[in-house]
Structures are given as C-alpha cells and as structure tokens.
Chain A
Amino acid sequence: MLLECNKLCKYYGDKAALNNIDLQLERGKIIGLLGPNGSGKTTLIKILSGILTPSSGDVKISDKNIGIETKKIVSYLPERTYLSDWMTVRQTLDFFKDFYEDFSVETALDMLKRLNIQPSEKLRTMSKGTREKVQLILVMSRNAELYLLDEPIGGVDPAARDYILKTIISNFNENASVLISTHLISDVENVLDDVIFLKYGNITLHSTVDDIREQHGKSVDALFREVFAC
C-alpha cells in the first residue's frame, strides 16, 4: 500500500476539517480528491506533504511516518505560487536538482520548451498562470512515488489544461500514484482511475470511476453535482 491514513483528524479550533479519515491508496493510480470548498481536500493534502500537523491519527506513506523520508518520495504542488520571485526558471531547476535526487532536468527542460517558457526568464516577470505551469513542470519532473496536486489546472487556460493533464498521465510510473484535488471535474474525469468524495471532513465515497459509471449510470461530474447539490 502506498498511503495509509488511520483515524486521521484535524481541528481548527473547535471545527473539524478532517474527521476520523481512514484511507488506503494503491500504487499506479490517478485519484481525484473531490469535494466542495471547505470539505478538507487541501487540509488532507497538506498533512500528507508534511506542512500541517494532524490533531490525531496516523499517516504512513510507503510505510514511513511523515518526515524527511516521505518528503524524498512525495512531490507536492500547492494551490499557491511558492517559488521565490528573484529566481529565473533555470535557477528553480537547479534548486530542485540540488534538493531532490529524483529530479530530471532534461524532462523539465523538454516540458518548458513545449510550453514555450524560456529558462532564462525571471519568475518576477511572469504571469500567475505561467508561474503555475513552471511549478507543475518542476513537480512532475520528479520521479516520485506520490504526487499531491492541489488544484493543478485551476489557474491555467483550457489549452494548457490538456497539455498539463497529458503531462500528469505520461510523467508518472506504475509504482507511483497521483492524488489530484480539483473543482474542474469534467476536465480531469477522463484521466482518473479512482475518486474520493470529501464532505465536511468525511469521506463519503471512495470508488473507481468505472464502478461509478456502472452502478450509478452517471459520469463523476454528474454524480458530484447530485451528491453536493446545494
């Protein structure tokens, strides 16, 4: 098992952001983490990446507790731009190469070329969307075991979305899994193997996309709209 969460809880004051989450994820899957705003998607991803401490419960990635060893095998894309704006794109590649043994500069340069981003460009001069593309390229150029992508296509144009999704599919190996949190379900539905529905910090559904289509006779997007109807 790649990921195991047992009775995972996270409270912000009195409010439970995650409520006794039990979750197991296998290798070789693309999993959609879906839910409305405030359902706990980002909180779960942050805990898995090690930047948020759970209130209680256990998390193991590849049988390791969250720490340096899991950070070596987890590639995390937050929903905000986290690169220092004094850097050039080339310097961000050097930075990732310096700290992550599994980072491939060649893969990153190839993706940058396809998206027409110059390595000599400064991040300061880039649009938010372009910066997000650079971040995604950095994250997907790692040969990680678990990719945590928090809203990876939210800030980019529809044309770039297709390329990004193709990148996600083609850049992870069968030993790895990708956990994608997004609101744009119809855009990602075709690449997902499994989906997890989160509501008020609880997992209300964990199923394969094929099972949803067979049992409910609906697309994931249609089921989502039904389950989370206001």
Chain B
Amino acid sequence: MLRKLIKYEFLADYKKYGVMGIAIIAMAILAVISEKIAPTDVKVYTSFFLVVFSMSSVFIIFAASILLIVLSTIRFYKSFLKDEGYLMHTLPVHTWQLIASKLITAYIWFLFLLIISAVYVTIIHGNITWLTDFYKDLIDAGENDNLSPLLISSYISFLLAPFSYLAHIYFSFALGNLFSKNKLAMSVVMFLVINFAERIITTILLTAYLVSIKYDYDITLPTSSYINTLLSIVLSVIYLIAAERIFAKKLNLE
C-alpha cells in the first residue's frame, strides 16, 4: 500500500517539479548561449550576465528549497486536513503509511532539485571542476581536526533538513487538529511554539554539556556540532511518532 500511496503522491506533483527543473536548466543554457553568440564588443555585457547567473547558483538552490517546502506543506495540508482528507483517511491504510508516503516523496523531490541545481552550476561553469574543487575542500577540511566534525555535521544537517522540517510541520498540523476551532491558525501557533521549545531544549543541553567539559575549545566545537545534529534527528523522530499517534487516535476532520 505504501508504494501505491507514493505513486499517487508523485502523480499529484510531478508536473510542478518538472516545470521547475526545466525552467532552472533552461535559464542556465540561455545564459551560456547568450555569452557564446554575443559579438566581441558586447561580450562584456553578456559576461556580466553570466557572472550574475553564476552568483545566482546559490539563489537557485535556495529558491528551489523554499518551493519544495511550500509545495510539500500545501500538499500535506490539502490532502490530510482539507477535502481530500475525506478520501485519504478513509482508505484502508495505516496512518504511518500516509505520513511516510508524503515524507518519502518530498525527500525524493528534494534530491531531484539538488541534482537539478548541480546541473545548473555545471552548465554555468562549463565544466565539472566545481564538484572536484568541492570534494577537495571537503578532504582538506577533513584533515583539520576541528573543522572536520563541523563540516560533516553541516552536510548531514543539510541532507536531513527536509526530513526535520516536514516532521516539524506534520507535528504542528497534528497539534492544530486537536483544537476545536481555528485549526490552521492553531497549527501555525504550534509551529512557532515547537520551534521555540526546540531552541530552549537545544540551548539547555548544549550549555549543560559545555559546563561539564569546562569550555574546552578543542572538545567543544566538534562534539557540540555532533550533539546538535543528533538532537535534531531525535526530535524529528519524536515529532513524526507523535504526529502519527495524534492523527491515528484523535483525527477530527471538520
């Protein structure tokens, strides 16, 4: 059943992500072509545009991430708590399967956008050296005892970001669903409350850890970055389990 749910999740959104992917690649190709075909006297202008496009690589990844977050949130809200929920929640499937199908699909779209962003950067640069440079930087940083854990945990956090964010969102919607009125508004409030509570918990645990090791810089930086990542994973798993339990036991579609 999970496979079938994932299939329909893909069918629901593949056109939106497809158009997004094509638009990103087309933008890169357009920038490179305009630079290649421009006469020498205006080359300075097209080069300028190419630089702008190169700089926009970061923006593209950022925009794609935002779009992923927005689309995934809307998809979850519409198919879980609005009219489509009347169909989804009456299917003979487990609640965890409904949640997992959305989480898995969103993550696959995240990987798709990551690949599209990499293709964009490659087209703009005209070669793949940016990837080898990136890999070389990673190796260099890995040889630095202080930077290595920080870098590794940053990459893990980046790769787990959609998972953490969606877990947070699903849990907020689940809590909002417990209120008898203004469920959407209460979900937003819950999102902020969870965010605030999460920061307090993280700060308290990290402070307690720093006190226990007497602020030894050599230990602090690497270990605290790992603790931060681990805490984020643990909290995300707790959010998902709690959301599943609430939707399974306390669903109230109105």
Q: Using CB atoms and an 8 Å cutoff, list the residues of chain A in contact with chain B.
A: 12-13, 46, 49-53, 68-69, 71-72, 74, 76, 78, 80-84, 86, 91, 95, 98-100
Contacts and interface: CB of A to CB of B under 8 A. Distances in A.
B204 to A, nearest CB: 35
B253 A51 contact: yes
A99 B92 contact: yes
B93 interface: yes
B21 interface: no
Nearest 6 CB-CB pairs, A to B? A82-B86, A71-B92, A82-B87, A51-B253, A78-B86, A72-B92
B250 A51 contact: no
A8 to B, nearest CB: 15
Contact of B90 (A49, A91, A95, A98): A49
A51 B84 contact: no
Interface in B110-124: none
Interface stretch (B4-12, B30-38, B134-142): B4-12
A86 B14 CA distance: 11
A68 B93 contact: yes
Given A13-B180, A50-B251, 7 more contacts: A50-B89, A51-B89, A52-B253, A84-B12, A84-B79, A95-B8, A99-B92
Interface string B218-254: 0000000000000000000000000000000111111
B198 interface: no
Nearest to A78: B86
B94 interface: yes
A100 B92 contact: yes
A69 B93 CA distance: 9
A51 B11 contact: no
Contact of A71 (B84, B91, B250): B91
B: interface residue count bin = 20 to 34
A126 to B, nearest CB: 15
A80 B4 contact: no
Contacts of B193: none
A95 B83 CA distance: 17
Contacts of A71: 90-92
A84 B80 CA distance: 12
B251 A51 contact: yes
B92 A82 contact: no
Nearest to B3: A98
A78 B93 CA distance: 19
B87 A53 contact: no
Contact of A99 (B12, B91, B181): B91
A81 B86 CA distance: 9
B11, B79, B92: residue with the most chain A Cβ atoms closer than 10 Å: B92
B85 interface: yes
Nearest to B89: A51
Contacts of B197: none
B74 interface: no
A83 B86 CA distance: 9
A53 B249 contact: yes
Contacts of B85: 51, 82
Interface in B8-31: 8, 11-12, 15
A13 B1 CA distance: 36
A75 to B, nearest CB: 9
Contacts of A98: 4, 7-8
B250 A76 contact: no
Contacts of A72: 92
A68 B7 CA distance: 20
28 contacts: A12-B180, A13-B180, A46-B253, A50-B89, A50-B251, A51-B86, A51-B89, A51-B251, A51-B253, A52-B252, A52-B254, A68-B93, A68-B94, A71-B91, A72-B92, A78-B86, A80-B83, A82-B83, A82-B84, A82-B85, A83-B84, A84-B12, A86-B15, A91-B11, A98-B4, A99-B4, A99-B91, A99-B93
Nearest to A76: B90
Nearest to A138: B87
Nearest to B79: A84
B85 to A, nearest CB: 7
B120 to A, nearest CB: 27
Contacts of A13: 180-181
Contacts of B92: 68-69, 71-72, 99-100
Contacts of A69: 92
Contacts of A74: 90
Contacts of B181: 13
